[in-house]
Amino acid sequence: MSNLRFSDICKKEVKFKAAGMWDTIIEKLAPSISSALDHPGLVHIDCPMHGGSGDFRVYRDVVDSGGGVCTCGNWPDGIALIGAVNDWTFKDSLSEIGRLILGEKPELKPVHRETRKRDTAREDAAIRHRLVALWNGGLSMKSAEARAAWMYLVGRGLKIPRNWQSVRFHPSMAFYEKGMLIGRFPGIMACVTAPDGTPVTIHRTFLTDDGHKAPVESPKKLCPHASYRPLQGAAIRLFPATDTLAVAEGIETALAVTEMTGIPCWATVTAGLMAEFVPPPGIKRVTIYADKDSPSKFHPAGHGQEAAKALAERLWKSGIRAGVELPPVEIPNGKKGVDWLEYLEDSGALRAAA
């Protein structure tokens, strides 16, 4: 590494110097994901780690953070992401990045930070405008126009909740793939809310008029979020909270849990966000209804199980009682995992409760 030794490299210094040019660093050290940089946060590509089709994307603020996310994992900074893509150790990743940006003759020069701040502010304003317009274009889930959403939920074996919140129906949501408009579909919008109660972004489930998932590769998508409103700790607050709360990954799974237990259940959207969930003040107990996932390279104990365990341990340390519940069945052959909704559907428990 030229005249630099690993002991000379400080993670904090690397992250400080790399902020504002992580996209260039990624292009040099992890070219296999460079196509995701064309439209950060929007373009989904095949995952270089586990091979999932269209599962991976970089953070919208990748230029500053270097982070990326996939169904198989979450890498909050460029050191972690570049290491994962190349199967490098932390030491290797830090050393290679340091070689590019530190030393007497660095290969890359830092960008002007004030220019980047102005660009980010403009992007944040545009995102906020689009989110507000999208949400305001929605209708109550009780309206007759929301029939496609009712049919979808009933088709999943669920009742239509009476007291749910944070959810609206949209009659015509635009669906983009790799920056191109594919079509417009009706669907369910759900507000993703930060621990302090402020809206962060919108989760969308694209449907057909007769209540099936839209015929697209990824019928469930998160909208981009402003840089000053991170997803960490957030959840879809489907029901008013008491001092006892349940959490699950998906919206439909959370609805099934509430239907079966009577406990308000919130959806964290992904396993990665489940591990980072932060309950609001006043919560005394959290039951985690985790997905049971097959082992993988990055999650040898199963992603859902690992996320649930991490959340439970963190909640106990903060003084909140926590427990983990897994579907009491084996993962079917040929499937990557099983969630509580699938178990309740297959067991007939939801039909019995109807």
Cα angle: 252, vertex 256, 258; to 5 degrees: 115
Residue 245 in any domain: the answer is yes
Q: Based on the domain organization, do 104 and 211 belong to the same domain?
A: no
Q: Pick from 111, 131, 147: which residue ends a domain?
A: 111
Q: What is the pLDDT of residue 240?
A: 95
Sign of CA dihedral 82, 75, 14, 65: positive
Least confident span in 71-85, 127-141, 251-265:
71-85
According to DSSP, the β-strands at 73-75 and 167-177 are unpaired
Q: Pick from 61, 95, 111: which residue ends a domain?
A: 111
Q: How many domains does the chain have?
A: 2
Distances in Å between the Cα of 224 and the Cα atoms of 124, 127, 131 are 9, 7, 9
Residue 116 in any domain: the answer is no
Token pair for 66: 């270097």
Least confident span in 59-63, 89-93, 116-120, 133-137:
116-120
According to DSSP, the β-strands at 68-70 and 57-58 are antiparallel
Q: How far apart are CA 143 and CA 160, in angstroms?
A: 12
pLDDT higher than threshold 60 for residue 6: no
Q: How far apart are CA 255 and CA 159, in angstroms?
A: 8
Taking residues 75-87, report their average pLDDT.
91
Residue 309 in any domain: the answer is yes
Q: Based on the domain organization, do 157 and 254 belong to the same domain?
A: yes
Question: Which neighbouring-strand residues pair with 247?
Answer: 266, 288
Least confident span in 22-26, 98-102, 159-163:
98-102
Q: Based on the domain organization, do 143 and 79 belong to the same domain?
A: no
Q: How far apart are CA 279 and CA 286, in angstroms?
A: 8
Q: What is the pLDDT of residue 1?
A: 40
Q: Based on the domain organization, do 106 and 164 belong to the same domain?
A: no
Residue 151 in any domain: the answer is yes
pLDDT higher than threshold 70 for residue 95: yes
Q: In this predicted model, what pLDDT tens digit does every residue of 201-256 receive, in sequence order?
A: 999 999 999 999 999 988 999 898 888 888 889 999 999 999 999 999 999 999 99
Type of residue found at 22: W
Q: Based on the domain organization, do 56 and 195 belong to the same domain?
A: no
- Per DSSP, the residues of 313-347 read HHHHHTT-EEEEE--SSPPPTT-SEE-HHHHHHHH
Q: What is the pLDDT of residue 46?
A: 82
Taking residues 307-333, report their average pLDDT.
95
Type of residue found at 275: A
pTM of the entire predicted model: 0.77
CA 350 to chain centre: 27
Q: Based on the domain organization, do 198 and 328 belong to the same domain?
A: yes
CA 327 to chain centre: 22
- Cβ neighbours of residue 122 closer than 8 Å, sequence gap 6 or more: none
Say what the alpha-carbon torsion angle 333, 337, 340, 346 is, to the nearest 10 degrees. Answer: -20
Q: Based on the domain organization, do 177 and 94 belong to the same domain?
A: no
- The domain of 194 spans 139-353
Q: Based on the domain organization, do 204 and 330 belong to the same domain?
A: yes
Residue 132 in any domain: the answer is no
According to DSSP, the β-strands at 235-236 and 220-222 are unpaired
Token pair for 301: 């104990």
Q: In this predicted model, which residue has the larger pLDDT, 108 or 70?
A: 70
SS3 helix, strand, coil % of the chain, rounded to 5? 35, 20, 40
pLDDT higher than threshold 80 for residue 5: no
Are 60 and 225 in contact, with CB atoms under 8 Å apart?
yes
Mean pLDDT, the chain, rounded, equals 87
Residue 131 in any domain: the answer is no
pLDDT-derived band at 91, boundaries 50, 70, 90: confident
Q: How far apart are CA 152 and CA 187, in angstroms?
A: 9
pLDDT higher than threshold 80 for residue 184: yes
Say what the alpha-carbon torsion angle 184, 55, 346, 350 is, to the nearest 10 degrees. Answer: -60
Q: In this predicted model, what pLDDT tens digit does every residue of 15-50 receive, in sequence order?
A: 888 888 898 899 889 988 888 887 787 777 888 887
Q: In this predicted model, what pLDDT tens digit does every residue of 248-299 receive, in sequence order?
A: 999 999 999 999 999 999 999 988 889 999 999 999 999 999 999 999 877 8
Q: Based on the domain organization, do 206 and 91 belong to the same domain?
A: no
Are 127 and 26 in contact, with CB atoms under 8 Å apart?
no
List own/partner pairs for 31-38 with CB under 8 A and 24 or more apart: 32/85, 33/58, 33/68, 33/81, 33/85, 36/68, 37/62, 38/178, 38/179
Q: Based on the domain organization, do 105 and 186 belong to the same domain?
A: no
Token pair for 109: 């020069």
Q: How far apart are CA 200 and CA 231, in angstroms?
A: 7
Residue 274 in any domain: the answer is yes
Say what the alpha-carbon torsion angle 267, 273, 274, 278 is, to the nearest 10 degrees. Answer: -90
Q: Based on the domain organization, do 84 and 229 belong to the same domain?
A: no
Most confident of 76-90, 117-131, 139-153: 139-153
Taking residues 123-145, report their average pLDDT.
94
Q: Based on the domain organization, do 240 and 318 belong to the same domain?
A: yes
Of all residues in the chain, the percent with pLDDT exceeding 90 is: 54
Q: What is the pLDDT of residue 39?
A: 74
Q: In this predicted model, which residue has the larger pLDDT, 188 or 7?
A: 188
Say what the alpha-carbon torsion angle 56, 221, 207, 303 is, to the nearest 10 degrees. Answer: 60
pLDDT higher than threshold 70 for residue 2: no
Taking residues 154-183, report their average pLDDT.
91
Residues in the chain, overall count = 354
Residue 134 in any domain: the answer is no
